[in-house]
Each structure stands twice: as C-alpha cells, then as structure tokens.
Structure 1
Amino acid sequence: MQAAAPDLWHHYGRTRADTDRGVPDFFPWIWAQDGGPGSEVLGDVTGLVLADLGAGAARHAAHLVVHHAPARVDAIDASAAQHAMAGDLYGHLAPRLRTLHANAAEHLEAHPDEYDVLYSVFGGLDFADPRRLLPAAARALRPGGLLAAATLGHYLGGAPAEPDVQHADIPARTPDGTPATMRRWVLQEHVWTKLLDEAGFTAIGVDRLPPATSGARSADTLLLRARRHK
C-alpha cells in the first residue's frame, strides 16, 4: 500500500488562525490581500450555490455567507490541516458554509451542473494542473455559470510567467518541518485564455491588477473571468 503524501499545507495560516477568528469584512482578490476589487467581481450571488476551489481556512467563503446571502458556499480543500482549520473557524456557519476535504478536480467531476459560481483566490487554479481542473470546472457549472480566479501575474521576485503550460516547483515543508516542494502554475495571460477556451468556456476576460504597494514579494495579479457556454 502506498503511503499517503505529506500535507504540505500543514503550517499555512496557523499563526493568523490563533489571533484572528473573525469573518472578514472584505473579499480581496489581489496578491497582498490589501486592496483591489471585492466580491462585486462575482456579481449578485444571492440565493446561488458557489464553491471556493482551494479554500484554505475558508475566509473568503465565510465573508460571502455572512455578507451576501448565497444559498450555499462549498469551501473545498485537499489539505486535511486546512480543512480542519476552516471547520474550527467557521463551522458555526453550516449548513450555508460547507467545508469539504476533497481534491477540487475530483469533486467537480463528481458534481456536474451543480454550481452557479466557482472561484479561486490563489488557490486551486494555482496548485492543480489546469488541463484537468478547468474542464472539470466547466462541467460542474450550470450553463452560463461563472468562473472567477485570481492567480499570480509573474513569479514572486519578478521572473516572468510561463509562456506555456508549465509548472514550477516551489519550496514547502512537511508537517515535521522537512523541506519539500510543491507544484505551482504561474502562466501568462494568453496561456490561461487558451486553456479556458479549450475547456469550454466563453466570455473569457483577463485583467492585470498591480499591487497596492511595492516590495520584494509584491506581485501583479491576473484576474480571470469566464462563463460556461449556455
């Protein structure tokens, strides 16, 4: 029997979770999470069914549930640690907020035509192969449904995004602190557009959002929006 892969997201967000347990007042899209457009990117979600792909601690999902009256938001994450953290922070918002421990692509493939809106904020679209995730997203959306995602416009440190569908291996840590790597897809605008088109999306748009402040780890954000064909 093959051993389970270590949870490379085990350490992420733990310090913040110890001191900040509130529901955020704002839904940020840009990399630094300190400005830019908010939840209006998703349109009016009142009464709709949404999913957050790679939700982490589910802070964005919690904001939507508390402030925008969706029927349900599914906060999906493959990390056991992130799933547990989301449940600890926002389990009281069930059943309108569901925290799901699942691989995003596998979950979407198993739930065709279920969602009105899918979104990812430096989450699933960054860390899963888009050649599988995007077609799964198109199938899981209802006709005309919206996919919105924020992803890096270039590598941290300034190196340009990839001109083809190529991942990078970035540093990570196992739960016991051992150095490791995980895959991240940092792609140019035309690559995302091509992938979305091939997956069956229409009305594809990509906006480049500059950082609110500059610094060594500041980065442009690509805000992707597309709809499943009707």
Structure 2
Amino acid sequence: MTTTPLDLWHHYGRARASSDRAVPLAFSWVWAQDTGPGAEILGDVTGLVVADLGAGAARHAAHLVTRHAPARVDAIDSSSTQHALARDLYGHLSPRLRTVHADTAEHLDGHPGSYDVLYSVFGSLDFSEPRRLLPAAARALRPGGLLVASTLGHYLGGAAAEVDVQHAEIPARTPDGDATTMPRWVLQETVWTKLLNEAGFTQISIDRLPPAASGPRSADTLILRAHRPS
C-alpha cells in the first residue's frame, strides 16, 4: 500500500495569489527577487520550447510567455497546490503556457530531446536529488540546448554551502500547519560544476551575485549555465 506524500508547498504563495494576480513585469534570478539580471540570460527564446523546473505559481513562466515570444513554456511542479495556483492565475495564457503537475525528473525522463531551454529559479534544482535531476535534464534538452538555474550560494544565515553532494533538512509546514522538514541542496560551485559535467553538460559557467542589501535572510545567488553538447 502506498501513501501520497504530503504537499509541503501547500501554504507557499497562497497569500500573494489572493491579492496579486498580475503577470510580473520583470524576471529576476536573485534570491531577493529585487535586482540583478533578467530573462536575457536565457538568450533569445523566440519560437523555442522552454520548461520551468519547479515553477511554483508559474510567475516567471507567465512573464516569458507574455514578453519574450517562446513557442511554449511548460511550468512543471510536483505540488498539487502550486499547480492549482498556476492554473488559476495564468490558465488564460494556455496553450503557450502549459502547467504540468509532475515530478520534474520523471517528466523530463518522459520527454527526451523535447526542450530548447530549461531553467530553474530556486526551484527543482534546489529541492531534488541533483544526481537524478541533472542527467534527466540533459536528456530532455535538444542538442545544443541550454540549462540555466539560480540557487543559493550559501545557507540563509551565512553558513557555507556543502563541499559534497548532501542536503540539509530545512523547516516546512504540512497542509495542516504542523512543523516538519524538507530536503534542500545548497552546494558549492565546484560541486555543481562536477555534477553538471558528470551529467553530460558542457560550456559550464557559474556566476555568484551578492545581495543588494544584507539582512538575516539575505544570500548570495549562484547562476548556473550549461549546454547539452551539439
């Protein structure tokens, strides 16, 4: 007998969704979502098939669809609550924005060679076993395809990122509001580079962006870029 895992993203973004239903005017990669580079990091996505890995309420995907003319953006999320939020907020952008309720790695495994660009903004790359997700991402890209992801450069509060492929258990809440934890991977640049290389990516680069302002929950952002070989 199997049981359905608790949706630990049940509460995330729900309050904002009740008052802010707009398509975001900007696309931001950094942790604070207040500065830094935007969608130009993805290059020209006109006419391309793109996927947002761990899309949440699909705000970044909605921005791309309305302002950058991709053929389609698949907003993938394993949370039933986040998938429902995305459909409620941006279902009117279908079929160019397609909300997908699925485990990210499983979805990518089922769609080899289907995407020109994959991206993650503190999404699946942070909350999935990278030795499972990154090879699936490489296979899902077309030859020459691009993966871009932003992730934490260190733990919130300042502790250094991990020097090996291991996760931390961070606080989370069940749908009933009970305290629990979920895994999050916060890895050093050299670890991400090794993982991307082992997954078959080339042209790997990682940039570190400091926060615009310091605070107890501020953090450096790592932006990872890598290609599937042509």
TM-score (norm 2): 1.00
The amino acid of 1:161's aligned partner reads: A
Aligned residue in 2 for 1:94: 94
Write the distance in 1 (CA, Å) between the matches of 2:175 and 2:226: 36
* Alpha-carbon separation, structure 2, partners of 1:17 and 1:32: 18
Given residue 74 of structure 1, which amino acid in structure 2 is its aligned partner? D
Q: Does 1:78 align with 2:62?
A: no
* Gapped regions of structure 2 (runs ≥ 5): none
Residues 189-228 of structure 1: pairs in structure 2 closer than 5 A:
189-228=189-228
Alignment partner, residue 6 of structure 1: 6
Cα displacement string for residues 54-100 of structure 1 (whole angstroms, at most 9, x for unaligned residues): 00000000000000000000000000000000000000000000000
Partner of 2:184, secondary structure, is: strand
Give 1:91-130 correspondences, 5 Å limit: 91-130=91-130
2:161 match: secondary structure: coil
In the alignment, the residues of structure 2 paired with residue 71 and residue 196 of structure 1 have an alpha-carbon distance, to the nearest angstrom, of 27
Name the amino acid aligned to 1:80. Answer: S
In the alignment, does 2:22 pair up with 1:22?
yes
In structure 2, the partner of 1:146 is 146
**For residue 180 of structure 1, what is the aligned residue in structure 2?**
180
How far did residue 176 of structure 1 move? 0.3
- Structure 1 runs (4+) deviating above 2 angstroms are none
What is the Cα deviation at residue 27 of structure 1?
0.4
Distance in 2 separating the partners of 1:28 and 1:20: 17
* TM-score where L is the length of structure 1: 1.00
Instruction: Measure the CA separation in 1 of the matches of 2:55 and 2:112.
Output: 20
Q: Secondary structure at the match of 1:131?
A: helix
Q: Distance in 2 between matches of 1:3 and 1:178?
A: 18
Give the number of aligned pairs: 230
> In 1, Cα distance between the equivalents of 2:95 and 2:2?
35
- For structure 1, which runs of at least 5 residues remain unmatched after alignment? none
Q: Partner amino acid for 1:110? A: G
Task: Give the residue type in structure 1 aligned to 2:87.
Answer: G
Determine the C-alpha separation between the residues in 1 that align with 2:163 and 2:199: 18
Residue deviations 1:129-181 (CA, integer Å, cap 9, x gap):
00000000000000000000000000000000000000000010100011111
CA apart distance, 1:214: 0.9
- Percent of pairs identical after alignment? 76
The root-mean-square deviation of aligned C-alpha atoms, in Å, is 0.4
Which residue is equivalent to 1:52? 52
Deviation (angstroms), 1:213: 1.1
